[in-house]
Each structure stands twice: as structure tokens, then as C-alpha cells.
A and B are shown apart, each in its own frame.
Chain A
Amino acid sequence: ETGVTQTPRHLVMGMTNKKSLKCEQHLGHNAMYWYKQSAKKPLELMFVYSLEERVENNSVPSRFSPECPNSSHLFLHLHTLQPEDSALYLCASSQGWGENNSPLHFGNGTRLTVT
């Protein structure tokens, strides 16, 4: 198993659909993140969970709803998305949040297309 696994790899959904992205980490980390990667823009931090508690939410629209049931799993629930939400959604984990030099470990991402 790779360190951080994301499913599905690709997702096409209509604007009225509801879907969920899943992330699982096998590194024993206790912090997990959702990032949005759009072309020619810096990575956008969406949510951070530390010890299963949400610690940061960067003004993300409510059509994105995260869930972290335990320190190994992270979900991103999607509903009534817009075409501009099409992007690569990356999950990451780290050992500690706000601790010295703890690098992020990323999954391979879910390529989301909203039609």
C-alpha cells in the first residue's frame, strides 16, 4: 500500500449530483488535509484535520463538506458543484500539525470534472 491512497482517481459528475472523495493514509500520521490544484494557480488549502478535529477551513463554499471519522480516513462530500470546481483534489497527511518541519505526504489525487 502506498502511503496516501485516494479514490476514485477520476470522477465526472453533473451539477446536481452528490459524490464523495475518499482518502486513506497508512503512515500513522495524525493530521490530514484537502488541497485543490487548478491549472496555473498555487495549491489551495481547503481543510485541515488534526487528531480528527477540524482546525482550519479556508473559506471553502458549503457545497464541499469534509469528514474525518478517524486519523487514517478523510472524506470530501460534494454536492451541487459548479463547473469551476473542476480540478485535481489532493489529500495529504503529516505527523503533527504545526510541528517542526513535518512535510506533507500527498496522495495521487482525484481528477474531478463537473459538467
Chain B
Amino acid sequence: GDSVTQMEGPVTLSEEAFLTINCTYTATGYPSLFWYVQYPGEGLQLLLKATKADDKGSNKGFEATYRKETTSFHLEKGSVQVSDSAVYFCALYYPNTGNQFYFGTGTSLTVIP
């Protein structure tokens, strides 16, 4: 069935380090792909999205490219900040077929000064 697999956490980085959080998916169709972020004590917030192959979503210095050939949507940021410490969720969604959101288990990121 359809699913999302994220890299295991937790991830700990020093400030200004490069971040990659891997996400791969299994899908029978052509989903849209999302990254959500959850800061401590809060709900999930949409970070970025991509709706078709080769699209690049970007926001707040984060980027992810929809790679159909490798069924991946890895999240990257060139220089992380302490304020980026949060849990990151990869998700896929089928438009026009009902609420078919599939979330990964989340990857916890801690950035230390």
C-alpha cells in the first residue's frame, strides 16, 4: 500500500551545519508531497510542498525536490539555526481521491549552538 518512510532520528547538528532528512515513498499513483514541521508544544505546520515530478518546494531556507525516479522527497537546508529544532514530517497526498494523507513517523532535529 501507500506509505512514507523517513530516516530515523533523532538528528543533532551544530548551528550552520548542512541538513538532510531523507524521505522515500511508495505510491500507486502520482501524489503530491509535503513536509510539515512541528515545533515543541505545537501542532504541525506546512513547511513546503511539491505537486509533480521535478517540482522543488522551498520555504524558510528549506528545499525538497520531487524525484519520481527515486521516489524520494528529501528535505535539505544549507545552514541550520537553533530555531530549526523541531520534528519534521514527510507526507504524501492524493488530490481528488478523498483525504488520502499519509504521514511518516517524523524526524526529530536538535540544533546546538
Residues of chain A whose beta carbon lies under 8 Å from any beta carbon of chain B: 4, 6, 31, 33, 40-43, 45, 48, 55-56, 90-92, 97-109
Contact = CB atoms under 8 A, between A and B. Distances in A.
17 contacts: A31-B99, A42-B104, A43-B101, A45-B101, A55-B99, A92-B43, A97-B98, A98-B95, A98-B97, A100-B95, A101-B95, A103-B46, A103-B49, A107-B43, A108-B42, A109-B42, A109-B43
Given A90-B44, A106-B44, A108-B41, 13 more contacts: A4-B43, A40-B105, A42-B102, A91-B43, A92-B44, A98-B95, A100-B96, A102-B95, A103-B34, A103-B46, A104-B101, A105-B46, A106-B45
A64 B27 CA distance: 30
> Which of the four size classes fits the interface of chain B?
20 to 34
B45 to A, nearest CB: 7
A56 B104 CA distance: 20
Given A55-B98, A103-B34, A108 B103 contact: no
Contacts of A48: 99
Nearest to B97: A98
